[in-house]
Amino acid sequence: MTPREAVAALPAYSAGKPPQAAEGFTPYKLSSNENPLGPVPAAAQALRDVSTLHRYPNPGAESLREALADQLQVPFSDIVTGAGSLGALTQLISAFAGTGQNGQKDEVIYAWRSFEAYPIVVRTAGAQDVAVPVAEDGRHDLAAMTEAVTDRTKTILLCTPNNPTGPALTHTEVTEFLKTIPQNIVVVIDEAYFEFVRSADPVDALALYREHSNVVVLRTFSKAHGLAGLRVGYAIAQPAVTDHLRKVAVPFAVSAVAEAAAMASLSHIDEVHQRVETIVQERDRVASALADAGWAIPETQGNFVWLPLGSASVDFAQAAGAQALAVRPFDGEGVRVSVGEPEANDRFIQLCRTYSGRPGLS
């Protein structure tokens, strides 16, 4: 069978692997940026209490959107939910970028390396991806992204903090960037990890969406809320964008259990923030231990660290695997390691102290 041309040429998405057993080691999965603490107890309970499994869920996840609208102080109609923020992003790209009647492809600009799903979502829609290399320090090269804009550009994806390299954009940077971008180009701010940011000038994406009709904020319950297994995320944008998003919505994308758990998590947001703070402290502990051990890694603002190991990436992942730590290698580039349980982080730190294959070390 022959799939569409765009699909035939796609790279396969490779999800983070589970850890392999190793004698004497408790296995830990540090390969998918999951929340090691899990959801708040109220969220786990809420999904057990759902008694309408034989009914279709709310078509537009109305209850969850009402709760979000109330908490974020945005209009209900400016929120579009999806099966994870990846679901919301897929919806957005399919609404705004593809192949035109004349056979010309719309262009979608993003930084690279960034979230592995971007090229797949963009190319599946029939659009052309334009990958702008991140700078040496793992940060978006916003000037180069502005320069990459053409009259075919339909959408720009900003990932902050950037998965997998770690740094977050600043509010000043994004504000200045938006001034350089034509108003008819949709600018997505993918904030999958915004809860973990501790910087002096954090992006206030909601303020940017209020000011700009072309800005879309993407958020998820997968990371800070610890609900990756349920698949729930959302986009926030003005009607100029959401009117089109609704046309391509997958009906019932958010399940009844996902909606119930997400609402319970929102109503215990202080507890969620406490858990996030615990992970942030572990992250900072890991980052400073690595710095003490002589590793130069990019600033990390998410729940993961990036080791720019280049050609040693796969070897490092194998060394971690031998100690039952699953990490995420990107061959020839680096290794992303999620912040996990303290024991997992200790083992990872110890491995970094003793690992001898680092390029540049003799």
Ligand X SMILES: *Cc1c(COP(=O)(O)O)cnc(C)c1O
**Closer Cβ to ligand X, 85 or 313, answer by number:** 85
**Closer Cβ to ligand X, 39 or 84, answer by number:** 84
236 contacts ligand X (rule: CB under 6 A): no
Question: Cα(335)–Cα(314) distance, rounded to whole angstroms?
Answer: 8
Among 47, 156, 192, 241, binds ligand X (CB under 6 A): 192
36 contacts ligand X (rule: CB under 6 A): no
Residue 295 in tokens:
């590793």
**Closer Cβ to ligand X, 114 or 238, answer by number:** 114
Question: Cα(23)–Cα(197) distance, rounded to whole angstroms?
Answer: 37
Nearest to 35 by CA among 342, 242, 279, 347: 279
**Closer Cβ to ligand X, 159 or 324, answer by number:** 159
222 contacts ligand X (rule: CB under 6 A): yes
| CB-count exposure of residue 303 (10 Å: 0-12, 13-18, 19+) | buried
Q: Where are the beta strands (DSSP E) in the chain?
A: 28-29, 79-82, 107-112, 128-133, 153-159, 186-190, 215-220, 233-236, 304-307, 325-326, 328-330, 334-338
Q: Which stretch binds ligand X (CB under 6 A): 222-230, 256-264, 283-291, 335-343?
A: 222-230
Least Å from the CB of residue 5 to ligand X: 26
Least Å from the CB of residue 221 to ligand X: 7
Least Å from the CB of residue 81 to ligand X: 11
Among 190, 195, 259, 333, binds ligand X (CB under 6 A): 190
Least Å from the CB of residue 142 to ligand X: 17
Least Å from the CB of residue 322 to ligand X: 26
Interface with ligand X (CB under 6 A), residue total 14
| C-beta of residue 180 within 8 angstroms of C-beta of residue 199 | no
107 contacts ligand X (rule: CB under 6 A): no
**Closer Cβ to ligand X, 212 or 328, answer by number:** 328
Q: Which residues within the stretch 77-96 sit at the binding site for ligand X (CB under 6 A)?
A: 84-86
Question: Cα(110)–Cα(193) distance, rounded to whole angstroms?
Answer: 17
Least Å from the CB of residue 237 to ligand X: 16
**Closer Cβ to ligand X, 173 or 315, answer by number:** 173
Q: Which residues within the stretch 128-187 sit at the binding site for ligand X (CB under 6 A)?
A: 159, 163
Q: Which residues contact 185 (CB under 8 A, 6 or more apart)?
A: 149, 153, 154, 155, 156, 214
Residue 116 in tokens:
């592995």
Question: Cα(287)–Cα(303) distance, rounded to whole angstroms?
Answer: 11
In the chain, what is the straight-line distance between the N-terminal and C-terminal CA atoms, in Å?
51
| C-beta of residue 330 within 8 angstroms of C-beta of residue 14 | no
Question: Cα(42)–Cα(55) distance, rounded to whole angstroms?
Answer: 23
Among 220, 238, 265, 300, binds ligand X (CB under 6 A): 220
Residues of this chain that interact with ligand X (CB under 6 A) are 33, 84-86, 115, 159, 163, 190, 192, 220, 222-223, 228, 233
